[in-house]
Amino acid sequence: MAKLKRFFDRFNFKKSQGFNRKIKFSVHPLFLALGIYFAVTGKVFSFLVFTLTALIHELGHSLTAESLGYRLNKIVLLPYGAIVSGETQDMPNIDQIKTAAAGPLVNIVTAIFFVCLWWLVPQIYPYTELAVVASLTLATINLLPAYPLDGGRVLLACLSLYMSQKSAYKLVKRISIGIALCVFGLFIYSLFNTPNVSLLFFSLFIITGNLKRKDGAHYVLIAGLYSFKGIKRGKRVKTIGISASSTIKELLSNFSSGELLECIVFSDDLKVYKRLSPDKVIYLLQSAPINMRVKDAINSYL
């Protein structure tokens, strides 16, 4: 519940704690085109269900990223539930994999939840069937290894573990364009049977996503969002104890909005290793790599 509260708190449009908490929203032209298509074909309710499922999908990305010490600066409404993170070069590849996979996983869990409800309350089946279909569809589509889908992001991060990110991206781009051409071929084939315009939108989405990789949406370190601004109005100072072998990411997880953090660092033998005042904690969080041990960060940056 605390994570959910922090997520929705970010939609506060007031400036607070020295930074603009507003998350920017934008709508991809293909999303609007897809909405118009659904409206023309009399499937407005289906479009709304898919949009809600997409928001749940993004909630999985955002909460996972926040648990890893990152925060979205922008939410982009894209077709097929891909409300994605964009550039994440500063995020370790393992964390990128976890964050990207969280969206489809949340959709799968949502579908399983409704299916379980059918056993308990069969009467809700007609009202929730579309939600299950939408959840499984978005999960399946986003697991395809095509950028900028989540599967493509996972593939990019996995390849980046063994080669340079530039080389990995070139390979993923070729794979993505290949998949887009295959999907477009299926659209052409459907014209001779039952036209499937969704295949056209899907292929265009993948192609445009690879033509311009930098979409302006990225995760930023939460630590960079905290400061002493607003101290004249008063801020609560929270004192915590943490092991010197803990990571900066674990230290960061103790931060809450509207307060300052004072830290007592303990060595492995439970003796006080260092006392960090709020200004030193903020400096440490803003300077040290997120996966560095607290002890090493203190020795390197303080």
Q: H/E/C letters for each residue in the chain?
A: CHHHHHHHHCCCCCEECCEECCCEEEECHHHHHHHHHHHHCCCHHHHHHHHHHHHHHHHHHHHHHHHCCEEECEEEECHHHCCCCCECCCCCHHHHHHHHHHHHHHHHHHHHHHHHHHHHCHHHHHHHHHHHHHHHHHHHHHCCCCCCCHHHHHHHHHHHCCCCHHHHHHHHHHHHHHHHHHHHHHHHHHCCCCCCHHHHHHHHHHHHHHHCCCCCCEEEEHHHHCCCCCHHHCCEEEEEEEECCCEHHHHHCCCCCCEEEEEEEECCCCCEEEEECHHHHHHHHHHCCCCCEHHHHHHHHC
pLDDT tens-place values along the chain, 302 residues long: 555 444 444 444 333 333 334 456 667 676 777 778 777 777 778 778 887 888 788 778 877 877 777 766 666 666 655 444 444 445 778 888 888 888 899 999 999 998 998 888 888 888 888 889 888 988 898 899 988 788 988 998 899 888 887 888 889 999 999 999 999 999 999 999 888 877 887 888 788 778 765 443 444 444 444 556 666 667 788 899 999 999 887 887 776 656 788 899 999 888 999 999 988 888 887 777 777 889 998 998 88
Domain ranges of the chain: 2-221, 229-301
State if pTM tops 0.85. no
